[in-house]
Structure 1
Amino acid sequence: MTTAYETLMAYVRDTEALGQVAGRLGWDQETVMPDGALDQRAEEHGAMAGVLHARRTSPVIAEGLAAVQTTDPVALAQLHHIRRSHDRATKVPASLAGAIARETSRAHRIWAQARAEEDVAAFLPALSRVLDLKREEAQAIAGGADPYDAMLDDFEPGATGAQLTAMFGAMRPRLVALRDRVRQAPPAPQLQGTFPEDGQMALTRELAAAFGYDLNRGRIDKAVHPFSSGSGLDVRITTRTSADDPFNCFYSTIHEVGHACYEQNIDRAYLLTPLGAGVSMGVHESQSRIYENQLGRSRAFTGWLYGRMRDTFGDVGIASEDDFHACVNRIGDGFIRTEADEVQYNLHVLLRFDLERALVSSDLAVADLEGAWNERFVRDFGFSVDRPSHGVLQDVHWSEGLFGYFPTYSLGNVYAGCLHAALRDAVPDLDADLARGDTSRATGWLRDSVQRHGGLHAPRDVIAQAAGGAPTEGPLLDYLEQKFGAIYGV
């Protein structure tokens, strides 16, 4: 006889499968969809959002939750996620869920065109519509509480804006002080020459495989903004190429592989269930950042990459492995968050975190966003934004309604710092592996300690169990000061 739990999980699996289909629509839109299909795709997104909302608010969920009785820890974790999703969804009218899906689909393509044409004014009306809808959604979920916390909770359950403000406030002084010391040192060398796209894509596939990405269950495509999509048996990533900056391609790929491997390595028993995806964006980002930075930009791994670069492209204008390591980790002035060095990356995130909180609270008007961005950028980085695609139009997130997402990037860095310290204790001779381009022990430790659990544990608990203590910003800041102090002699 089928139990109440089995009946509920069968219903939820169908909903999760439909969610994957909706995600595939987004992947297609970013990679191969023709431009003229935008309006139809927006309607398709809206229709799918309506179907998913109806299933997530269905009486079947409420009745199943009331009927199930269990003490099994996995079942209890599944029920926790089902109840949380149901509670949030039932607070949002179906018409609003569909409107958000349609408007963000349109706004995304408007953003892409505005970015290409350096036309902020063309994007702001779409951003205003998206922001109004997301505010309405957050207010419905939050009740009388802070709407921004409701937005943040969608990406990092349990976190609050006040907690992150305190953490980021503790990070800023040490980051700025380290950046200022490095600026007084001689600059690191830079690559010379041009790097053909076919060579970049060949090496990027080698890097993806080296970090454990299973291309039998995934693929690598090109997009304006690199991303990872899907979970379980179909996890896809995108990257981008630049003729004079192959690191953009290589490290975007390694970053997205970190996301993708998290999804691919979740316990197969959780496939198409609430536990079958990464537990939060902060934990997700911890995987992408530790793959990209603590492993991919380490002295040992860059020594191996230096050889593969020379094999692929010939002379790259760098005389030694040490110089190449400094080149990969070069700190310099730049506008783009995704291309920022490890020291300044979090300053980019903190800028966005403060601006979006002001937008959500209506302390900052959308019409004033570009001016506020440019003014803040000068204060934080010491030079002016030269064009909108290097400023307020550079990120895709707000066009997609992802308010509350940005702070998880820095939280992920904090988590990665804690995990890296624990990894080095667990595998003290790791550099010998990385010098051969072998990441298997590092990625295996991350798989077993973090990735396989999926949504089984709360986000902070996942990190605390793996790292041996509650996550704090200290290990990340210590790592940055040690690494860049050695590279720059400061």
Structure 2
Amino acid sequence: MSAYEDLMAFQRETTALGQIAGRLGWDQETMMPRGAAAQRGEEMGAIEGVLHARRIDPRVGGWLSEIDDAGLNGVGQAQMRHIRRTYARTQKVPAKLAAELARVTSEAQGVWAEARAADDFAAFAPTLKRVLALRREEGAALSEGGDVYDALLQDYEPGATAESLSQMFGALRPRLVDLRERIRAQPQPKGPEGTFDAAAQMELTRKIAVAFGYDLTRGRIDKAVHPFSSGSGNDVRITTRTSATDPFNCLYSTIHEVGHATYEQSIAQEYHLTPLGEGVSMGVHESQSRIYENQLGRSRAFTGWLFGQMVETFGDFGISDPDAFHAAVNRVQNGYIRTEADEVQYNLHVLLRFDLERSLISGALEVEDLEAAWNARFLADFGFAVDKPSHGVLQDVHWSVGLFGYFPTYTLGNVYAGCLHQALRSAVPDLDDQLSRGELSAATGWLSENVQQHGGLYRPREVIAKACGFEPNEGPLLDYLDTKFAAIYGI
């Protein structure tokens, strides 16, 4: 076998082991007994140690030195780009640190969940301090004297920098705030009334997931505290959650996670268990979940179909007609929770986290002061005070598992989704007619063909630019929001 074939066979085994580690994480969030948390931490640490050793195996270095990338086709060159990048990054992180990070963050999830349930940030703070210290150490090793936050950001959005994201976010903020303030002066649409059976919500949410192209023969839907998508290729699982008084929480959490899951399911089969067999970045991943959830799932056309499904499932729930239902689904209202935020204010939640985590990584903010800093920033940005930690600093799982650098990809994904939506509407001129019948195949098919099937073949911004025919920018998202909410609120 050639060096390239040897390397790819070795890489396939490494990727398979990584998928097993991911399955352990899925189990921890859905089915693992509470008393197993400490043992699961040891298990995660052990498998991370094995993975780290494989990623820096001397044979990998030998194969890389033998391979002439110029002699490979485009797919082979893309595979090598990912492998060389991972090899270089992994060599910088000591094996002991990698294993300790896996162990501590696995245990931290349970500590966070209990602290969140008890609304007790002080109970979580010592664990978060340990996670933060380890991530700072890892970032320092990766950055080699450069910007530590930028080094961590590369795990989620290769090629991005905090400075470039800050410029984009700075351009978003004024128009988002202006739109929100104009909306706040208008009467609010009426929301759903009554209680909604959890089993009925799950039945409807499975129907919607299938309509959006989720293949349940290669996936499953379970419940978790924090909805997520896990896996790739032919085993891609999602979770959602139900609320007795808010069925939209379940339905739109599911559509969001289906966007992530169908991305993974749609990647070309020949890329499975290779570096190209996963979504290329979290920003591109989020573009899929957000365009599914918002531009498609919250459109007037689709919500007209969904209204009929809601009446059929729940009977009278206090909303009289499709127009009122569309307004209810898109209500802009005060709220604490990022995952439940409307499209106008969602990115303001992300910007808050982006600024705070940069300060945490740099040392300008310490864990002991995080809750107060969060509450002060939230009050300044949203105009009302956080009432309890589970509505504030404890609401998201990300920092407990060390995902510093992840949050900005949510807003980047929204920007990408705005660009993709503009291109999609040009490519599918009768999109609204199809959505009004609950038919998503043309929309999801376009996304699969132009974004999802490529996996990691192209660089993040490159795949969006190829799909849209222009470089991604915040303009299409802002124009879409202005047009949509001006119609709903008559402003």
- Name the CA distance, whole Å, in 1 between partners of 2:73 and 2:2: 14
Instruction: Give the structure 1 partner of residue 490 of structure 2.
Output: 489
Instruction: Give the structure 2 partner of residue 150 of structure 1.
Output: 151
Instruction: Give the structure 2 partner of residue 295 of structure 1.
Output: 296
Q: Where do 1:68-87 residues align within 5 Å? A: 68-69=67-68, 70-87=71-88
- Name the CA distance, whole Å, in 1 between partners of 2:27 and 2:358: 31
One-letter amino acid of the counterpart of residue 89, structure 1: T
SS in 2 for 1:215: coil
* Aligned-CA RMSD value: 0.4
Q: Where do 1:61-460 residues align within 5 Å? A: 61-69=60-68, 70-460=71-461
Instruction: Give the structure 1 partner of residue 16 of structure 2.
Output: 17
Deviations 1:254-277 (A, max 9, x none): 000000000000000001000000
SS in 2 for 1:238: strand
* Length-normalised TM-score, structure 2: 0.99
Deviations 1:163-214 (A, max 9, x none): 0001000000000000000000110111011100011000000010000000
One-letter amino acid of the counterpart of residue 29, structure 1: Q
- Name the CA distance, whole Å, in 1 between partners of 2:326 and 2:393: 31
Instruction: Give the structure 2 partner of residue 26 of structure 1.
Output: 25
SS in 1 for 2:347: helix
One-letter amino acid of the counterpart of residue 255, structure 1: H
- Name the CA distance, whole Å, in 2 between partners of 1:4 and 1:120: 51
* Length-normalised TM-score, structure 1: 0.99
Q: Tell me the CA shift for residue 144 of structure 1.
A: 1.0
Deviations 1:405-459 (A, max 9, x none): 0000000000000000000000011000000100000000000000000000000
Instruction: Give the structure 2 partner of residue 53 of structure 1.
Output: 52
- Name the CA distance, whole Å, in 1 between partners of 2:402 and 2:218: 29
With 66-75 and 297-306 compared, the bigger mean Cα shift is at 66-75
SS in 2 for 1:193: coil
- Name the CA distance, whole Å, in 2 between partners of 1:464 and 1:59: 37
- Name the CA distance, whole Å, in 2 between partners of 1:403 and 1:155: 9
Number of aligned residue pairs: 489
Instruction: List runs of 5+ in structure 1 lacking aligned partners.
Output: none
Instruction: Give the structure 2 partner of residue 6 of structure 1.
Output: 5
Instruction: List runs of 5+ in structure 2 lacking aligned partners.
Output: none
- Name the CA distance, whole Å, in 1 between partners of 2:429 and 2:355: 39
Tell me the percent identity.
Answer: 68
- Name the CA distance, whole Å, in 2 between partners of 1:428 and 1:355: 42
- Name the CA distance, whole Å, in 2 between partners of 1:365 and 1:3: 51
- Name the CA distance, whole Å, in 1 between partners of 2:420 and 2:117: 38
One-letter amino acid of the counterpart of residue 8, structure 1: L
SS in 2 for 1:333: coil
Structure 1 residue ranges, 4+ long, deviating more than 2 angstroms after superposition: none
Q: Tell me the CA shift for residue 66 of structure 1.
A: 1.1
- Name the CA distance, whole Å, in 2 between partners of 1:289 and 1:122: 33
SS in 2 for 1:235: strand
Q: Tell me the CA shift for residue 71 of structure 1.
A: 2.9
- Name the CA distance, whole Å, in 1 between partners of 2:485 and 2:414: 16
SS in 1 for 2:80: helix
Deviations 1:82-125 (A, max 9, x none): 00000010000000000000100111100000000000000000
- Name the CA distance, whole Å, in 1 between partners of 2:317 and 2:482: 28
One-letter amino acid of the counterpart of residue 35, structure 2: G
